[in-house]
Amino acid sequence: MEPVRVQKAAFDPGQELNAFSATVPGAGAVVSFSGITRDLAEGALDVMEIEHYPGMTEKALSAIHDEAMTRFSLTGAMILHRYGRLAAGDPIMMVATAARHRAAAFAAAEFLMDYLKSRAPFWKKEVTPEGARWVAARAEDEEALTRW
Amino acid sequence: MKIDVHYFAWLRERLGTGRETVETEAGTVAELIDELRARDEGYAHAFSDTGALRAAVDQDLVEFDASLDGAREVAFFPPMTGG
C-alpha cells in the first residue's frame, strides 16, 4: 500500500484502516483520523471543491509522512487526501499511524493533521445556491504548528 | 530566463489563468512579484496584499526573499486549507 495517496476517487475509511492495519504487524497501537465534508449550518452546501497543486502535494505529504515516521518511531503511517468535488458527508481525507504504544500513535496522528492543514497545498471552495466562496485559512491552524 | 509560474485558488480565478511562462530577470520571489504587478491593473490588484499570499519555488514553500537562481517553477497561492 502506498503510504501517501492523493486521489479524486471516493474511499471507504473503514476499508482503508483494515488494509493499513494488515501492513503493520508488531504494532501495539493503531490510531486513525477521518475528515468528513461538513455541511453548512443551513444545510446549504451544494458541493465542496478541493483544488491542489499536483506534484507539490505529493512532495509535501511525503515529507510530512517521513518526518512523522522518524520523530515518533512509527511502525507505519498513511495519508490519503481527495481532491475534486465532494458532497456533505463524504470523507475528504484520512491519516492512520501505527506504533509500539498508543502515546506515539496518537501524537503522530495529531502531528500529521496539524501539518497537512496548513502545509499541504490544498484549497477548499464551498459552493452554495447563493454562490461560491473560498474557505479562509484559520489562524489557529497556523498556531497549532508551534507546539511541534 | 524563463520560469513556469502557477496560480491557485482565488488568485488563479482573479488572474484568469492557472499557469504561464514568464520571461524574467528577477533574482528573488519578491522581485518577480514586482514585475508581475507592473504588468497591468489586474496583476497589481491580485498581488496588492502579499500578506494574503504564499509562494513556492520548485514545489517547496519559501519566503518572498527566496532566490530564483536555477528555479524552474514558481507558484503563488493563498494560505492552504487542507485536512
Across A59-68, average pLDDT: 97
Measured between CA atoms, the residue of chain B closest to residue A79 is B83
Secondary structure letter of residue A101 according to DSSP: S
Measured from the Cβ of residue B23, the count of other Cβ atoms closer than 10 Å reads 8
pLDDT of residue A84: 98
User: Per residue in B1-30, pLDDT tens?
Assistant: 999 999 999 999 999 999 999 999 999 999
Whether B10 sits inside 8 A of A134 (CB atoms) is yes
Q: CATH number, domain at B26?
A: 3.10.20.30
Going along chain A from its start, the domains and CATH numbers come out as: 4-147 (3.90.1170.40)
In a domain, B67, yes or no: yes
Looking at beta carbons, which residues of chain B come within 8 Å of A60?
Answer: 59, 61
> Concatenated DSSP letters for B15-52?
HT-SEEEEE---SBHHHHHHHHHTT-HHHHHHTS-GGG
User: Per residue in A6-57, pLDDT tens?
Assistant: 999 999 999 999 999 999 999 999 999 999 999 987 778 999 999 999 999 9
Q: How far apart are the first and last CA of chain A?
A: 28
Closest by CA to A120, choosing from A4, A2, A3, is: A4
Measured from the Cβ of residue A43, the count of other Cβ atoms closer than 10 Å reads 7
User: Per residue in A17-26, pLDDT tens?
Assistant: 999 999 999 9
A61, A112, A118, A125: best to mutate for the B interface, most B CBs within 10 A: A118
Indicate the number of domains in chain B: 1
pLDDT interval class at A118 (50, 70, 90): confident
C-alpha cell at B7: 496560480
ipTM value, please give it.
0.95
CA distance B36 to chain A (A): 21
Q: In angstroms, what is the C-alpha Rg of chain A? A: 16
In a domain, B82, yes or no: no
Phi and psi (nearest 5°) for A72? Answer: -110, 10
Alpha-carbon torsion angle A114, A116, A118, A123, nearest 10: -140
In a domain, B33, yes or no: yes
In a domain, B69, yes or no: yes
Q: Write down how long chain B is.
A: 83
In a domain, B83, yes or no: no
Range of the domain at B21: 2-77
User: Per residue in B23-36, pLDDT tens?
Assistant: 999 999 999 999 99
User: Per residue in B30-74, pLDDT tens?
Assistant: 999 999 999 999 999 999 999 999 999 999 999 999 999 999 999
